[in-house]
Amino acid sequence: MRILTVLIFLLITTSSFAVTFDGKFIQGSFIIGKTNPGSNVFIDKKKVKVTSEGFFVFGLARDRNNDVVIKINETKIIKKVQKRKYNIQRIDGLEEKKVTPPEEVYERIKRENKWIGEARSIDSDLIFFTKKFQIPIENAIITGVYGSQRILNGKPKWPHYGLDFAAEEGTKIRAMLDGTVTLAEPDLFYTGGTLIFDHGHGISTLYMHMKKILVKKGQKVKQGDIIGTVGKTGRATGAHLDVRLNWFQTRLDPATALDIK
Ligand SMILES: [Zn+2]
């Protein structure tokens, strides 16, 4: 009887924990975890939602160096983060007004950044993030990658956190994933025609520099639906689509979700 009790106890304790990860522990990475439904999951002390099937999601920042601490119930898992090399470009001798935006637009930029930040902080129960992402434009050439940075006149600029697809103006853009529109703005200072989608658990995607926006805030969109067209609105040098992926305020590499090498 006692042996049986011990066996049952062992069975319960050993079967109570299991976890798998889909995604690499590399800077900028999008990672989906799967564990037992009902588990309590913490990523670096931040409690994250777990779906009824046991899925949870998180991501690693561009410059993340320290290990990731994942706590599932009472079990702690520590993962090293692999570093990446980013493309750094120095350009000197530029006219100063091309390096810094004019003062009269500061308030506008601040206001628009607040809207974007709010859309990115949504922590909904949607579970669309568990589905595979799809390319937003077929046959487009990737002209800009995540993490690259320009140093203009010695001033390091904001790193590029998106993935750029060069395409002709008016090219149809398809939703990479099912989601709900949380921001639809035709003319933001930096990003021009901008869409943000919520995919659940803090995962959001952004589409920028759009010419036409064909969806409205609050609208539910299916993967592959046409959401607008390619443009060069906002601060864009030419027609292209720039897409972004976030886990709350952490900017991730969209290529890691799209499986682009
Ligand atoms: Zn870009």
- 161 Cα–ligand 1 center, Å: 7
Q: What is the pTM of this model?
A: 0.90
- 162 Cα–ligand 1 center, Å: 5
- 4 Cα–ligand 1 center, Å: 62
What pLDDT is recorded for position 236?
A: 87
Closest-CA residue to 131 (of 204, 223, 220): 223
- 238 Cα–ligand 1 center, Å: 10
The yes-or-no verdict on residue 130 having pLDDT over 60 is yes
- 221 Cα–ligand 1 center, Å: 23
The yes-or-no verdict on residue 231 having pLDDT over 80 is yes
- 164 Cα–ligand 1 center, Å: 5
Single-letter amino acid code for the residue at 196: I
pLDDT, tens only, 80-116: 999 999 999 887 887 776 667 888 899 999 999 999 9
List the structure tokens of 210: 């759009």
Half-sphere exposure of 107 (CA within 13 A, CB side): 1
What pLDDT is recorded for position 207?
A: 98
Which residues lie closer than 8 Å to 109 by C-beta, 6 or more apart? 101, 189, 190
Mean pLDDT of 46-51: 98
pLDDT band at 67 (very low <50, low <70, confident <90, very high): very high
- 157 Cα–ligand 1 center, Å: 13
Mean pLDDT of 138-142: 89
